[in-house]
Amino acid sequence: MKEVLHFKLLWPKTLVDNVKHRRFFYSLRRIFFIMKFIGILLLLCNVHLSANTMAQHVTLQTRNSSLKEIFKELHNQTGYYFIYNENLVKRTPLAVNLKDVPLSTALNDISKDLGLSYTVKGKTIILEKNREKNKRVSVNTQQETVTINGVVYDTQEPPVPLAGVSIHVKGTSKSVITDESGFFSVSAKKGDILVFSMVGFFSKEFRVTKNERSLPVALESDVAALEEVVVVGMNEQQKKHIASSLSTLPIASNVAGKPITNLSQALQGGVTGIQVNQGSGLPGGDAATVYIRGITTLNSANPLVLVDGVPMDMNHIDPVTVESVTILKDAAAASIYGSRAANGVIVVTTKRGVPGKMRVNYDGYYGYQTPTALPQTVDAVRYMEMDNEAHVAAGKLPPHTDLTIEETRKGTDPLLYPNTNWVDLMLDKMAPISSHSLSVSGGNSLARFAVTGNYMDQGSMLPNSNLKRFNIRANTTVTLADNFLVNLDFTAIKRNRELANRVTSGGTFRFLEDLYRVAPNVLPRYPDRDGRRFYGQFADIVNPLAYAEVGGVRKNEYTESLINFRPKWTVLPGLNLNGQFSFRLNSDAHHNVRENFNHFNYYTGVLLRTWGLQREASQSRSTYYFVGLNADYTLNRDKHSVYGILGYSQEQRNQGDWTVYALRSAYTKLNYSYDDRFLMEGTVRMDGSSRFGPGKKYGFFPSVAVGWNLHNEAFLNESTIVNNLKLRASYGSLGNENIDPYLYQSLINPSTALEVTHGNPDISWEKVDMLNVGFDLGLFASNKLELTVDFYDKRTNGMLLQPQLPLTGGFQEKVPVNAGEVQNKGWEASLTYTEKLDNGFGFSVRPGFTYNKNEILSLVGGPYDGSGAVRNQVGSSIGSFFGYRTDGLLQADDFDDNGNPLIPVRSHLSAPGDIKYIDINQDGLIDEADQTIIGDPMPRINFFSNFRFDYKNFDLEFLLQGTGRSDAMLTGMFALPLDGIADGGVPTTYYADNYWTPDRTDARFPRLNNSPGDNRMASDFWFQNGAYVRVKFIQLGYTLHQQLANRLKLSGLRVFLNAQNPMTFTSMKLVDPESRGDQWKHSIMATYSVGASIRF
């Protein structure tokens, strides 16, 4: 019996059973109940804290103290802050004699004789003049002048008060600064603008209203002015202390305001070292494949994506909620994640609330989509002429008469002689797309929140096809004590996708294929008669219009809910204890619906076929659990800076009813910096996986990195040119366990008693060893010019393969072994130049370049064939094309006097205009022995360049992205239309103008033939150069002047026009150079949109 689970997890079994055996929505209701319950508890905690404020006892005995000194002493005893107008403390000294009395009593006694009142807000007590006395002040004076008290924080967790912040009343000479506790008090008139500024932080403005009394403010750090802090694995770290290789995605350029449907699309042209391919533009199927520094394995090569510490499908992330994206590229950066990091790691953090006034933001756009590549087909007359020519070439009778062709050309009777352009008829080249996001955030020093909801509606160029997605994310942070806080996050995703009900027997969507297969001389729909609909039919299929109108629809409903609970306890200064519990529930439901419909011949009334009533439904569910605990310690003393983390975690995935696997991990990491010059990082992780058998479950993954900040050396310290120069080197091991579980066990067919799956108890981890050497260079003030270069050598050892066992032994399946080695070797460089001029004009240029060579170094039991013409063998790259080399097309001089080819092809007879194959082994015959590796579909070069221009309130930005040469094979009906075996295929106009004829011997395509024979063989004849340069986006934006925004009662307003994928420069024909493929493939879409970002 198959072993299913090897680790007992920490959660109750009843919870697991409940998730397995109860309905999804019942579980979802429980999750919402838990969220509500926690919210009530948090509210009660706040009430308790407020009540506790009044209940604390204080002792205060003084004869000659100022009010400021008294409040300072009360703060020391209670931990509560006091906000007050400085004019209040300019009174005569006070005498106070209070012994062990409640704080409320002390406050009442002190304030009653001074004409003060107080308000408790969390851990802050605000004092002001007694409002009863203020009633004597004239109404006009109250309307003109307002005293505002507040505290200024940073955006850390928990927030830290900022001392020395300047608060300036704009347009006047009045200004104050915050004290050591971040407190301020300022008088201003209604309508005045308060400007909060401090070196190293972004300035912030607030308009004064008559109702404003207290104002908590949060300032965000300016990473250009301070040391940049980036997310590195499980912690944040100053960039100057990092010795490993990582990159951060520019959120403002690649995500904000862009009409992207998922985050994977934003990575393209964002960072070096990443190859991103968007294979389709079909709604719900437009996710991109992402490779970090090449493909490391024949198995799954997807990178690990973590969202706030939880593994997640990157394509389900709402881009609006993203705060930062960090790509961990070398072993030193990624090894903290061990066995899951072999293909690189993408760390995503989402936006959280900051102290201050509640913020309400709207981000949205509306636009339309049009395909980047949409081949046009010939009309009915040209189709019939070419079809006749193809049949004659195959020795068959022409199927179309001259009369039919002539009458069709005249167009006198379109019912009898139709001429249909199926592409234009069925496709919507202006498919709408819209996205609307509303976010609310705010809080104080005790509790902060950020809630974002997004609705996206993506139409399709195909009928009955669309995607509607709703995401909601609620991130909350509650400070329960000065040294203890809790992050509680909730995510819910609902995605509804519809497609026309037209699939193959294997479930492949084939509506597009029909458009290029159904002949243009087929009428879409005849006039209705006797209450019946009549549709034209071609070969074995009813035409696409029938499928669109009466063929039904295929619906997919995907839901996901996630709870992420992360407490943090600061045990001692610098020492933190962090916990995490995460639970995710996924449900994927499919519904296929079609009504009963009979297809009759319009002229004879004969029943041609029946589409039966269809009501099909299926559902699958999966759950994910994660429990983790770690301790981190930071020490900065003299010239030494140390950071260390030690942790343990375990996780479990349940897919369906039977597939269960788990992972148990322990890890530690140490970072050391001496004098901000010499850097060292060391990481060790051990993972245990239930996918492997006894004795092979655990993998050990260490790494080390060193760095040297040369700019801090004496010989460069005074340089006005070199602002930053760092040398880096790292080496380490990563692991991959992303294979089918329990392959170490054998399975026996009970009916035959034969072993059908031969297990291998020795299979274990794939290991990836990586060496990285690089440098970072920053020149001129504020690193105006930055250059980063990395060289890497990445090798996969023990790659998991499944060679075929001898069939004579009765084995029907393959055996898994660790027996392959793959190398990815290359370099990457990125450059950034930024300029800001005094006249309000600024610009930046950010190019990037990556070179990667992939090679299979060893394979046991190989080579291994992939799909189509793909083969993996030693000396070639993964996914290489295998077939025949060619030398153009056969001409008359390639045949003898009897019409026989000088070099025959074994399988079929050839004629002038057929493909000319090369006799590789020179045996005088073209056969299987002449096949070889003929091409590589993966480009070695990827590049991009981002350009941004700013002038006052206007900004213009565009991104160029592309790849170097690669081999793209043209296949299917685009390559060989009118193939009788494939039931036709309508020629494209490009094919019609470029196929071989006796008068056009330098043609791109072979001669027409209804039985193309050897021309079907995989060969480099069908290659196109896949290199391209694409304008990935162009965006023109305008930000409303702050004064105008204030008049509109807004904090900010930006509007923009955007064009996504508007232009592509390539030599490829018929297909998009990125998605490639054939008549089955949905082209990538170009999107034109208008949008706005409104801050209330």
Mean pLDDT check: name the lowest of 46-60, 463-477, 515-529, 1010-1024. 46-60
- 141-155, pLDDT tens digit by residue? 444 677 888 888 887
| pLDDT, position 955 | 93
Q: Examine the pLDDT at 579 and tell me if it is beyond 90.
A: yes
Helix (H) or strand (E) run with residue 729 in it? strand 722-736
For residue 276, what are the β-bridge partners?
290
User: Rounded mean pLDDT of 1026-1053?
Assistant: 92
Q: Confidence class of residue 752 from pLDDT cuts 50, 70 and 90?
A: confident
Least confident of 13-17, 341-345, 632-636, 942-946: 13-17
Across the range 614-642, mean pLDDT stands at 93
Percent of the chain residues topping a pLDDT of 70: 87
Residue 50 confidence class, pLDDT cut points 50, 70, 90: very low
pLDDT at 584: 95
pLDDT of residue 278: 84
In this predicted structure, the answer to whether residue 223 has a pLDDT above a threshold of 60 is no
* Residue 655, C-beta contacts closer than 8 angstroms, at least 6 positions apart: 620, 622
Span 574-595, average pLDDT: 94
* Model pLDDT, residue 225: 42
Q: Which residue has the tokens 């060619």?
A: 886
**Could you check whether the bond before residue 158 is cis, i.e. omega within 30 degrees of 0?**
yes
Residue 396 located in a structural domain: no
Asked whether the whole model's pTM tops 0.75, one would answer yes
pLDDT at 85: 61
Residue 59 pLDDT more than 60?
yes
Q: Of 355, 83, 81, 122, whose CA–CA distance to 218 is shortest?
A: 355
Helix (H, G, I), strand (E, B) or coil at 1016: helix
Q: Which is higher by pLDDT, 552 or 863?
A: 552
What is the pLDDT confidence band of residue 12, given thresholds at 50, 70 and 90? very low
Across the strands, what pairs with 1000? 997
Per-residue confidence (pLDDT) for residue 145, from 0 to 100: 75
For residue 46, pLDDT over 50 is answered with no
Q: What is the pLDDT of residue 811?
A: 54
> Smallest Cα–Cα separation from 214: which of 106, 82, 90, 47?
82
Q: Is residue 196 part of a domain?
A: no
pLDDT band (50, 70, 90) for residue 139? very low
500/510 Cα distance (integer angstroms):
9
Residue 849 lies in a domain: no
**Residue 391 dihedral angles phi and psi, to the nearest 5°:** -65, -40
Show the domain range for 918.
Answer: 886-929
Calculate mean pLDDT across residues 1037-1054. Answer: 90
The confidence score (pLDDT) of residue 828 equals: 96
Q: Are the C-beta atoms of residues 590 and 618 closer than 8 Å to each other?
A: yes
Q: pLDDT band for position 31 (50/70/90)?
A: very low
Query: Is 70 exceeded by the pLDDT of residue 28?
Result: no
What single letter denotes the amino acid at residue 744?
Answer: Y
Greater pLDDT, 671 or 1082 = 671
Least reliable range by pLDDT among 95-104, 536-545, 699-708 = 95-104
Q: Where residue 87 falls among pLDDT bands split at 50, 70, 90? A: low
pLDDT tens-digit series, residues 808-831: 555 556 778 888 899 999 999 999
Q: pLDDT-based confidence at 289, cuts 50/70/90?
A: confident
Q: Measuring CA to CA, which residue among 1089, 1056, 1095 is closest to residue 953?
A: 1056
pLDDT 10s digits, 664-683: 999 999 999 999 999 999 99
pLDDT of residue 112: 66
pLDDT mean over 939-945: 95
For residue 642, with 0-12 CB atoms within 10 Å meaning exposed, 13-18 middle and 19 or more buried, which class applies? middle
Q: Which of 253-262, 534-543, 766-775 has the lowest mean pLDDT?
A: 253-262
Q: In the predicted model, is pLDDT for residue 552 greater than 50?
A: yes
**pLDDT given for residue 34 in this prediction:** 47
- In a domain, residue 922? The reply is yes
- What pLDDT, on a 0 to 100 scale, did the predictor assign at position 320? 86
* pLDDT over 90 at 125, yes or no: no
DSSP 166-190: EEEETTSS-EEE--TTSEEEEEEET
Mind listing the pLDDT tens digit for each residue in 896-909? 888 888 888 876 67
- Residue 206 clears pLDDT 60, i.e. is over it: yes
What is the domain count for the chain?
1
At residue 1024, the pLDDT reads 95
Tell me the pLDDT of the chain averaged across its residues: 84
pLDDT for residue 493 is more than 90: yes
pLDDT of residue 1059 exceeding 80, the answer is yes
Model confidence at 15: pLDDT above 60: no
Residue 334 lies in a domain: no
Which tops the pLDDT comparison, 819 or 847?
A: 847
Residue 917 lies in a domain: yes
Distance separating alpha carbons of residues 953 and 950, to the nearest angstrom: 7
Quick one: pLDDT band at residue 97, thresholds 50, 70, 90? confident
Identity of the highest mean pLDDT range in 31-35, 300-304, 916-920: 916-920
Helix (H, G, I), strand (E, B) or coil at 691: coil
Residue 787 lies in a domain: no
Average pLDDT over residues 497-507: 79
Residue 325 has pLDDT above 60, yes or no: yes
Neighbours of 436 (CB within 10 A): 16
**Is position 900 within any domain?**
yes
Q: Is the pLDDT of residue 27 over 60?
A: no
Position 965 scores a pLDDT of 95
Q: Find the mean pLDDT for residues 42-64.
A: 57
